[in-house]
């Protein structure tokens, strides 16, 4: 069968035919069954003798073709195939950090377009018969499963499109591929400025986990793999007290909200502190340290009115001065991990106009301002206590003050962190349990064994354990804040 291939470098070209084969020159003919015919752009031959093959680099330069490729991807079908709690997203790039967070709770509405019609128009507009596109994905089962589903859908929806999928290795050049499957989380240092992301957002990764019956109402923090336990209930009792037992892969490094970057530290910090606002049920922002706020007409001045019954764990009131000090510290010496968040706040200045009125001035309006204020780095700080220490704040229980629903009652380095319900917390009566016990277990094997032995109440499933516990009565699924997306710009940047 005669195979005719062409590389199109413009919109329309006349072509000439060159025959390549491993047989002798004398036996080569234009109709030889084993011949491969390459059509090269020239100015004077009948193009009807061959089929024009368009490579992905040129294909993605055409808006119609890009739209056809995007509309051919059924995100909901991909998440259904993954079957791990992943959710499709309608998030559009470029985006902001608040939009990123809020898109995790926004219902995905697939936009119905005529994929075949878009593809047909692209083929007519660019004058090609067949096209070829390459996809690069990480060499892990999850990324490869997504990439293979995309390949399957593109081939099914777009006639005469050839799709290849490759796995990344240490020598891989992203710019050599048309579509690159990537993923980020809100904590990634690579996501310093989320507004620079381009391409097509696909889905938020799913996560299977074990959770014992009788435990309910665990709320997510800003990062959905971390949890707030103040509303959680458990039927488990220890010496008459209701305790929730959770694993940590590593010990916490610090209890300082403005220094913490690791998951263990942030998990603990999110439960022993509270800021102006917090994430509540269904991941929605609600009042916490502030009972109300006002916004100026130009969106540049936010005034927060604090609750007067909020206390530090030492019994002293939490005031606007504590927030002013914390924000100032963050502005003056921001933790690198939060630079991309701070950049979107446009902070100009802060002030405590009285003990319970805190004012934030912005240089320009900030979308999703309250979403960002729920992050640990914006928790209050007690200046006098911090400056009285001769060791780093948050380096031990004695070098930390607590403003949230729990206090740290015991910290056995490398082994366990124990939280107990705070007696000074303003909403103490509505904390539904007596405490949380975090046990440091470094591997999935250790955590699975601890779960089976009733030492912990919760455990993430990884690797072969996902399928092994697929139908276990304690198995649940959720989506995480890890966003998978297709970078469609690499070759353009090359």
**What SS3 class is residue 40?**
strand
**Residue 221: predicted pLDDT:** 67
Question: 141-157 and 63-72 are packed helices; what angle lies between their axes, rounded to 10 degrees?
Answer: 120
**What SS3 class is residue 470?**
coil
> Rounded to whole angstroms, how far apart are CA atoms 190 and 424?
39
Taking the CB of residue 42, how many other CB atoms lie within 10 A of it? 12
User: Quick one: pLDDT band at residue 55, thresholds 50, 70, 90?
Assistant: confident
Whether the per-residue pLDDT at 8 is higher than 50: the answer is no
**Letter string b/e over residues 391-400, b meaning 16 or more CB atoms within 10 A of that residue's CB:** eebbeeeebb
Tens digits of residue pLDDT in 114-154:
898 999 999 999 999 999 999 999 998 899 999 999 999 99
- Identify which has the larger pLDDT, 364 or 490: 364
Q: What are phi and psi of 297, to 5 degrees?
A: -60, -30
DSSP type of residue 307: -
Residue 33: exposure state from Cβ atoms within 10 A (0-12, 13-18, ≥19): exposed
User: Quick one: pLDDT band at residue 317, thresholds 50, 70, 90?
Assistant: very high
**Residue 426: predicted pLDDT:** 96
Structure tokens at 432: 């539904």
Whether the per-residue pLDDT at 1 is higher than 70: the answer is no
**Residue 341: predicted pLDDT:** 66
Whether the per-residue pLDDT at 383 is higher than 50: the answer is yes
Say if residues 197 and 95 touch (Cβ distance below 8 Å). yes
User: Quick one: pLDDT band at residue 335, thresholds 50, 70, 90?
Assistant: low
Whether the per-residue pLDDT at 272 is higher than 70: the answer is yes
* Most confident option among 32-41, 260-269, 404-413, 474-483: 404-413
**Residue 346: predicted pLDDT:** 82
Least confident of 120-124, 229-233, 235-239, 465-469: 235-239
User: Quick one: pLDDT band at residue 417, thresholds 50, 70, 90?
Assistant: very high
> Rounded to whole angstroms, how far apart are CA atoms 18 and 33?
15
What is the reported pTM? 0.75
Structure tokens at 471: 């139908």
Across the strands, what pairs with 209?
460, 476
**Residue 198: predicted pLDDT:** 81
Tens digits of residue pLDDT in 76-121:
999 999 888 899 998 888 777 667 767 776 777 766 568 989 999 9
Whether the per-residue pLDDT at 164 is higher than 90: the answer is yes
**Residue 30: predicted pLDDT:** 37
- Identify which has the larger pLDDT, 331 or 18: 331
Taking the CB of residue 188, how many other CB atoms lie within 10 A of it? 14
- Identify which has the larger pLDDT, 420 or 222: 420
**Letter string b/e over residues 211-246, b meaning 16 or more CB atoms within 10 A of that residue's CB:** bbeebeebbbbbbbbbbbbbbbebebeeeeebbbbb
Domains of the chain: 3-51 (no CATH), 55-208+482-493 (3.10.105), 213-440 (3.40.190.10)
- Identify which has the larger pLDDT, 295 or 45: 295
β strands within 21-160, DSSP E: 36-42, 53-55, 87-88, 130-137
Whether the per-residue pLDDT at 249 is higher than 90: the answer is yes
**Residue 443: predicted pLDDT:** 93
**Residue 203: predicted pLDDT:** 94
What DSSP string runs through 373-395?
HTSGGGS---HHHHHH-SS-TTS
**Residue 414: predicted pLDDT:** 95
Say if residues 285 and 274 touch (Cβ distance below 8 Å). no
- Identify which has the larger pLDDT, 194 or 269: 269
> Rounded to whole angstroms, how far apart are CA atoms 372 and 101?
9
Q: Whats the size of the chain, residue-wise?
A: 494
**Residue 313: predicted pLDDT:** 97
């Amino acid at each position: 069968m005669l195979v005719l291939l062409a590389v199109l470098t413009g919109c329309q070209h006349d072509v000439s035919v060159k025959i390549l084969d491993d047989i002798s020159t004398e036996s080569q003919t234009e109709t030889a069954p084993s011949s491969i015919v390459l059509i090269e752009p020239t100015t004077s031959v009948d193009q009807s003798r061959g089929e024009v093959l368009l490579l992905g680099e040129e294909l993605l330069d055409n808006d119609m073709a890009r739209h056809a490729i995007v509309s051919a991807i059924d995100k909901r079908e991909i998440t259904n195939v993954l079957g791990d709690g992943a959710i499709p997203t309608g998030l559009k790039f470029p985006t902001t950090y608040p939009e990123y967070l809020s898109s995790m709770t926004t219902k995905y509405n697939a936009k119905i377009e005529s994929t075949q019609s878009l593809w047909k128009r692209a083929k007519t507009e660019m004058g090609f018969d067949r096209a070829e596109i390459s996809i690069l994905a990480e060499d892990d089962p999850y990324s490869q499963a997504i990439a293979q589903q995309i390949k399957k859908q593109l081939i099914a929806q777009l006639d005469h499109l050839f799709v290849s999928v490759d796995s990344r290795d240490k020598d891989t050049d992203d710019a050599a591929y048309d579509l690159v499957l990537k993923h980020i989380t809100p904590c990634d240092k690579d996501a310093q400025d989320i507004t620079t992301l381009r391409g097509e957002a696909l889905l938020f990764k799913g996560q299977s986990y074990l959770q014992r019956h009788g435990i309910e109402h665990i709320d997510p923090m800003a990062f959905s793999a971390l949890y707030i336990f103040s509303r959680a209930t458990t039927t488990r009792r220890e010496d008459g007290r209701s305790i929730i037992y959770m694993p940590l892969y590593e010990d916490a490094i610090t209890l300082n909200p403005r220094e913490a970057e690791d998951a263990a530290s942030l998990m603990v910090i999110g439960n022993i502190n509270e800021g102006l606002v917090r994430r509540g049920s269904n991941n929605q922002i609600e009042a916490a340290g502030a009972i109300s706020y006002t916004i100026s007409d130009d969106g540049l001045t936010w005034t927060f009115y604090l609750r007067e019954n909020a206390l530090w764990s030492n019994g002293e009131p939490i005031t606007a001065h504590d927030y002013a000090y914390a924000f100032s510290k963050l502005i003056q010496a921001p933790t690198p991990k939060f630079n991309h968040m701070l950049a979107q706040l446009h902070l100009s200045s802060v002030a405590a106009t009285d003990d319970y009125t805190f004012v934030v001035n912005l240089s320009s309006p900030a979308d999703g301002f309250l979403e960002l204020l729920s992050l640990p780095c914006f928790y209050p700080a007690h200046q006098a206590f911090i400056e009285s220490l001769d060791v780093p704040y948050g380096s031990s229980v004695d070098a930390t003050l607590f403003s949230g629903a729990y206090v740290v009652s015991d910290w056995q380095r490398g082994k366990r962190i124990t939280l107990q319900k705070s007696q000074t917390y303003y909403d103490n009566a509505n904390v539904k349990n007596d405490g949380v016990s975090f046990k440091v277990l470094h591997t999935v094997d250790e955590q699975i064994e601890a779960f089976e032995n009733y030492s912990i109440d919760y455990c993430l499933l990884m690797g072969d354990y996902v399928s092994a516990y697929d139908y276990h009565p304690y198995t649940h699924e959720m989506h995480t804040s890890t966003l998978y997306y297709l970078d469609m710009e690499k070759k353009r940047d090359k």
